[in-house]
Amino acid sequence: MKKVVTWVLVAFLVFYIVTQPSQAANIFRQLGSGVAGVATGFGDFISNLS
């Protein structure tokens, strides 16, 4: 069951990227920005500990 769900999600992701490439790029860009923000916040936290 887990493999089926994984393949369905991968298929949906590929379908979305193929049919809506600009929107998919925006979503990935926003996710990347969010991850970078978390990493920056974590780095600031560690820097302020000392």
Q: Rounded to the nearest 10 degrees, what angle do helices 2-19 and 21-49 cross at? A: 110
Instruction: Tell me the mean pLDDT per 10 residues along the chain, length 50.
Output: 95 94 94 96 92
* pTM for this entry: 0.64
CA 6 to chain centre: 16
SS (H, E, C) 1-50: CHHHHHHHHHHHHHHHHHHCHHHHHHHHHHHHHHHHHHHHHHHHHHHHHC
Burial 10-19 (b: 16+ CB within 10 A, else e): eeeeeeeeee
